[in-house]
Amino acid sequence: MIESFGEIGGIKIKRYVLANKNKMQVKILNYGGLINSIIVPDRYGNFRNVALGFETIEGYVAGRSSYIGSLVGRYSNRIANASFVLNGETYTLPANNGKNCLHGGAKGFDQYIWKTEETIDGLRLLITSPDGDQGFPGNLQVEVNYVLNDDNSLRIMYRAITDKSTPVNLTNHAYFNLSGGADDTILDHQMQLNADSFIEPDKDLIPTGNIMPVSGTALDFRTSKKIGQDINTIPGGFDHSWVLNNSGELKHAASLYNEKSGILMHVETTEPGIQFYSGNFLDGSLTGHNGKKYSKHSGLCLETQHFPDSPNRPEFPSTILNPKQIFRSETIYKFEMQSTP
């Protein structure tokens, strides 16, 4: 089903509604390729929207700096000093996060109006990012497929090709609150991460280069625990990149659970890292679904991706896509309902 969702610059914005046999729904916009809502059943048989979002396109424009629900690229996360050297040439990017480049620059993929194609089981989105876009080299063709399965899993598949070597690091920036409005914050959510180590950040959230063990730190989520248990020991809250126990295959990365709703979400990915962001910069200035004010920790992000600043860190897994290569990545968010508290 396709619904009208306003206009931007005279271009009509469309909302696509995916549904499965269990009446789960995922709503996606061609603006930013973003996830507008994810509606799943809870333990009581009621349906709850577990993704933050807005009721109008104006809401997304006003809240653009939060990237709520968006497809992010060319490079998700941060690139230090908004520059990198590739094949002997220095490339300068927009510095839109202090002196650093965040989520692809001043106008990343979150602001594109994507070409859309309905498929048998989902939605295909396509863009071409031209050579020099936000300072990045190469004409980059990107394809993202959203597939909603009858096991209540949302599968996101990324594909890209280029005609010139360029960094590529794509993700989705959905914010989750599995209470579906019952809890104002995600602090009582239980979370588990399949990661023994994390990327040590400096004060600007740029990697120092050190990969640190989570053991004995507040970042140890190897065993499920409440997000609020140790968050006050982290200045500002969690906004870190964990090194997943993964070698490129589709594998378990995280689990998230809310006791009030009984909704459990599993995350699988082929990516080597996951950025857990606890909604630290939400400040109540944005009004989302059902008139809800999005305040600090109203939602959280589990962004599957490569590591921050990889173009400047040769010791990290490479994010460079070369001509004749194909970038592929896959992430699955699967929702289950726990019948008893």
Cα–Cα distance for residue pair 145/30, rounded to 1 Å: 12
Q: Is 303 a catalytic residue?
A: yes
* Strand partners for 226: 190
Cα–Cα distance for residue pair 314/308, rounded to 1 Å: 12
Phi, psi of 188 (to 5 degrees): -90, 0
Across residues 212-221, what is the average pLDDT? 98
Q: Is the pLDDT of residue 134 over 70?
A: yes
Cα–Cα distance for residue pair 311/79, rounded to 1 Å: 7
Contact assessment for residue 207 and residue 77, using Cβ atoms and an 8 Å cutoff: no
Cα–Cα distance for residue pair 332/117, rounded to 1 Å: 20
Contact assessment for residue 188 and residue 182, using Cβ atoms and an 8 Å cutoff: no
Q: Which of 10, 3, 7 is nearest to 25 (CA)?
A: 3
Give the model's confidence band at 341: pLDDT under 50 very low, under 70 low, under 90 confident, else very high.
Answer: low
Contact assessment for residue 208 and residue 307, using Cβ atoms and an 8 Å cutoff: no
Is 18 in a helix, a strand, or coil?
Answer: strand
Cα–Cα distance for residue pair 100/113, rounded to 1 Å: 25
Task: Extract the tokens encoding 241.
Answer: 């990149």
Q: Which of 173, 189, 297, 306 is catalytic?
A: 173
pLDDT of the residue at 338? 84
Domain range spanning residue 113?
2-337
Q: Which of 168, 167, 196, 191 is nearest to 178 (CA)?
A: 191
Give the model's confidence band at 339: pLDDT under 50 very low, under 70 low, under 90 confident, else very high.
Answer: confident
Gyration radius of the chain over CA positions = 19
Q: What is the mean pLDDT of the chain?
A: 96
Contact assessment for residue 265 and residue 152, using Cβ atoms and an 8 Å cutoff: no
Verdict on whether the full-model pTM lies above 0.85:
yes
Give the model's confidence band at 292: pLDDT under 50 very low, under 70 low, under 90 confident, else very high.
Answer: very high
Give the model's confidence band at 340: pLDDT under 50 very low, under 70 low, under 90 confident, else very high.
Answer: low
Domain total of the chain? 1
- What pLDDT digit, counting tens, does each position of 7-22 carry? 999 999 999 999 999 9
Cα–Cα distance for residue pair 288/262, rounded to 1 Å: 23
Contact assessment for residue 118 and residue 1, using Cβ atoms and an 8 Å cutoff: no
Is 223 in a helix, a strand, or coil?
Answer: coil
Phi, psi of 304 (to 5 degrees): -80, 130
- What pLDDT digit, counting tens, does each position of 74-89 carry? 999 999 999 999 999 9
CATH of the domain at 35: 2.70.98.10
